[in-house]
Amino acid sequence: MPPSDYDALAPIYDAFQNQTETDRWYDLALQKIHQNAQPSGDGEAGRLLVCDLGCGTGEMCLRLAQSGYDVIGVDLSEDMLQIARAKCQNAGYDVLFLRQDITKLDLFGTVDVFVCMTDTINHITDRKSLMDMVRSFDNFLNPGGLFLFDALSLEYLRETLGDNQFIVEENDYYIVWDNVFHSRSKTSVSEFTIFRHEKDDLYRRTECRIVEKFHSRKDLERILSEARMAITGIFEDHESHNHPTRTLYIASK
């Protein structure tokens, strides 16, 4: 989908997130990097170099930098990247941000860890593009390197989002979110109409369309295997739902 759809979400993206849930998954990913990654890497002074694929507004990049890693953030949306750059610079961290399609990755060298969080994997809706991204790790991920990513569950896409309408109202924006789930393709289509407050009684209206696809564990294992990677850890969320909302995967090269 065009980056303009993500550009439309950029100004409200952080406020729109469930920060408690997001923080929990970021913390789990950081814990697993600490436990499973190599002790040193390609970063300055031997620090691990971590690349965040689909970095959005840079929340995970900031946490990685705060944890002592050298960080690269990659995203196709320039509006998202502008927020990410400002966020990390204001916090005093030097993070390299690249505007690229993560399924056509072209880095300057190798990294020690790839992360791909907040269901970015689900936004890659065709197998070839997902395969292209993972295959690029042959060139850009060091031997023994890790790939950490999360993916939404079928139950969440089919039942929680499903064929529903959601209204989100905050002080400076109002969203009408119409969602449709397509059982045959296992895709969830979200149509957002966003009203952002500018001044007085003036609101700016934008629209965007976001598509997410369910990827089964078997499909992910097969794709990673074809790229000579293997899943070495799986962690599910059962805290607040009968069915897990998402799963965190750790794969190694």
* pLDDT at res. 201: 82
What letter would DSSP give residue 237? -
Q: What's the pTM?
A: 0.95
* pLDDT at res. 198: 86
203 and 230, same structural domain?
A: no
* pLDDT at res. 171: 83
- Map residue 215 onto helix, strand or coil: coil
Q: Is 245 within 8 Å of 212 (Cβ atoms)? A: no
- Map residue 161 onto helix, strand or coil: helix
Q: Is 47 within 8 Å of 68 (Cβ atoms)? A: yes
* pLDDT at res. 63: 97
Range of the domain at 176: 155-212
* pLDDT at res. 1: 53
Inter-axis angle of helices 19-36 and 59-66, nearest 10:
40
166 and 56, same structural domain?
A: no
- Alpha-carbon distance values, 19 to 28, 59, 162 (Å): 14, 10, 22
CA 185 to chain centre: 21
87 and 34, same structural domain?
A: yes
∠ Cα 154 239 62 (to 5°): 85
* pLDDT at res. 3: 66
Long-range residue pairs from 90-95, CB within 8 A, at least 24 positions apart, any chain:
91/62, 91/65, 91/66, 93/62, 93/65, 93/66, 94/65, 95/58, 95/61, 95/62, 95/65, 95/71
* pLDDT at res. 241: 55
Spatial distance between the Cα atoms of 58 and 82, rounded to a whole number of angstroms = 9
What is the domain-level CATH number for residue 92?
3.40.50.150
Q: Which two tokens stand for residue 235?
A: 């962690």
What is the domain-level CATH number for residue 177?
2.20.25.110
30 and 77, same structural domain?
A: yes
Q: For tokens 């880095």, what's the residue?
A: 107
Inter-axis angle of helices 217-226 and 127-135, nearest 10:
40
236 and 200, same structural domain?
A: no
Q: Which amino acid is at 34?
A: H
* pLDDT at res. 21: 85
110 and 122, same structural domain?
A: yes
Query: What's the number of domains the chain is made of?
Result: 2
| pLDDT tens sequence across 113-141 | 999 999 999 999 999 999 999 999 999 99
pLDDT tens track, the chain, 253 positions: 566 789 999 998 988 888 888 899 999 999 999 999 999 999 999 999 999 999 999 999 999 999 999 999 999 999 999 999 999 999 999 999 999 999 999 999 999 999 999 999 999 999 999 999 999 999 999 999 999 999 999 999 999 999 999 999 988 899 999 999 999 999 999 999 999 988 888 889 999 999 999 999 999 999 999 999 999 999 987 665 567 899 999 999 8
84 and 38, same structural domain?
A: yes
109 and 143, same structural domain?
A: yes
235 and 118, same structural domain?
A: yes
Q: Is 134 within 8 Å of 108 (Cβ atoms)? A: no
166 and 114, same structural domain?
A: no
177 and 104, same structural domain?
A: no
Q: For tokens 């993560």, what's the residue?
A: 102
* pLDDT at res. 105: 97
* pLDDT at res. 242: 67
Spatial distance between the Cα atoms of 81 and 134, rounded to a whole number of angstroms = 22
53 and 10, same structural domain?
A: yes
Strand arrangement of the beta sheet that strand 70-75 belongs to:
96-99, 70-75, 49-53, 111-116, 141-152, 246-252, 230-236
